[in-house]
Amino acid sequence: MESNVWQEKIEIEGPYNFDIVLERQSLDPLSNIDKKNRSIKVPVFLEQDPNVIDVMAVGTIEDPVFILTGGQQNVKDALIDRVSEIFQWNVPLKQIHEHFQKTSLNELFKEHIGTPLVLDFDLFGCLIKCVIHQQLNLRFAYTLTERFVKTFGFEKDGAWFYPSPQTVAVLTVDQLRELQFSGRKAEYVIGIAKAVVEGELDIESFKQDNNEEVFTKLIKLRGVGNWTIQNLLLFGLGRQNLFPTADIGIQNALKKLYKLEQKPTLEEMEQYKQGWEPYLSYASLYLWRSIE
């Protein structure tokens, strides 16, 4: 039997805690995780072709080592690059950890050492997921997203792929309402997909854009506001210096950390974050982690 499956060993600089990655990913019912073998199946669209890469951790937090097993030998390097980007293996967490040892978040960074900012597997999927999750409790948000993907996306080798913009653009509001979408949210999701299909929105160009350019392109779309854009910048593009002050989770984490009687004001949050730049996204991540 001819094998088109390749395997690659990747070693990166620690600290990097892949078990925390798996724990956070396991919140999403679409994730295919094997905690015992410390592995996850990653769906990667490359040049219109779906690939599934199995990522298994075989190292430690201090000396992280991964075994990648995948398909399509002819695009192996591009697939490894994309997986490395998703898991942010090129980001020196040691440097970020040392930066925060001189701040009021030093204990949080010691407790959750090596927590990386992991990207969503698909940029269009990330944008749609952000819109679906707006103003919903987390459990139902994941349930609704799961219904959406399992109804209109597809599965390959145990990994779920979000539906393409072309698929979503021709859906009807009624089809989404059957899954318990609100009528308005259904319109937003279909409208975003149409903007991509009709060339009004080039999502891939976001990777080269700065944060302001991404904001300008997205804010024009119905159903897309600050919260959605900040989440896309964080979990779609891995931008390192974002601090969503309007996020309730971050407000609650700061209240807990500083033993406040009520949630911090915007002015207090602006004050706290001084000294955390240029890694505000990691401050956000560790604050969320502290209340999970």
Backbone angles phi, psi at 219, to 5 degrees: -65, -20
The per-residue b/e assignment along 2-23, b for 16 or more CB within 10 angstroms, e otherwise, is eeeeeeeebebebbbbbebbbe
Q: Which residues pair with 52 in a beta bridge?
A: 43
Say which amino acid occupies 268: E
Q: Which two tokens stand for residue 184?
A: 């308005």
Q: Which two tokens stand for residue 70?
A: 């995948």
Go through the domains of the chain in sequence order and give each one's CATH number: 6-91 (3.30.310.20), 123-235 (1.10.340.30), 248-291 (no CATH)
In whole angstroms, give the CA distance from residue 287 to residue 249.
Answer: 8
Q: Is residue 36 packed enough to be buried (19+ CB in 10 Å), middle (13-18) or exposed (0-12)?
A: exposed
Res 46: pLDDT: 86
What are 10-56's pLDDT values in tens digits? 999 999 999 999 999 999 999 999 999 999 999 999 878 999 999 99
In whole angstroms, give the CA distance from residue 274 to residue 272.
Answer: 6
Per-residue pLDDT of the chain (292 residues; tens, 9 = 90+): 345 689 999 999 999 999 999 999 999 999 999 999 999 999 999 878 999 999 999 999 999 999 999 878 889 999 999 999 999 999 999 999 999 999 999 999 999 999 999 999 999 999 999 999 998 888 999 999 999 999 999 999 999 999 999 999 999 999 999 999 999 999 999 999 999 999 999 999 999 999 999 999 999 999 999 989 999 999 999 999 999 888 889 999 999 999 999 999 999 999 999 899 999 999 999 999 999 8
In whole angstroms, give the CA distance from residue 196 to residue 173.
Answer: 18
- Quick one: how far is CA 254 from the chain centroid? 22
Q: Which two tokens stand for residue 96?
A: 């970020």
In whole angstroms, give the CA distance from residue 260 to residue 268.
Answer: 11
Say which amino acid occupies 77: D
Contact 96, 26 (CB under 8 A): no
Torsion of CA 29, 31, 35, 36, to 10 degrees: 100
Res 1: pLDDT: 38
Res 3: pLDDT: 52
Res 102: pLDDT: 93
The residues that are catalytic are 247
Looking only at the bridges linking them, the beta strands covering 6-11 and 32-34 are unpaired
Task: List the one residue out of 204, 203, 210, 169 whose CA is nearest residue 188.
Answer: 169
How far apart, in Å, are the Cα atoms of 162 and each of 64, 125, 127, 247? 29, 6, 11, 26
Res 2: pLDDT: 42
**Is cis: bond before 278, omega within 30 of 0?**
yes
Alpha helical stretches, state H, 62-172: 76-86, 93-100, 106-111, 123-133, 138-152, 165-169
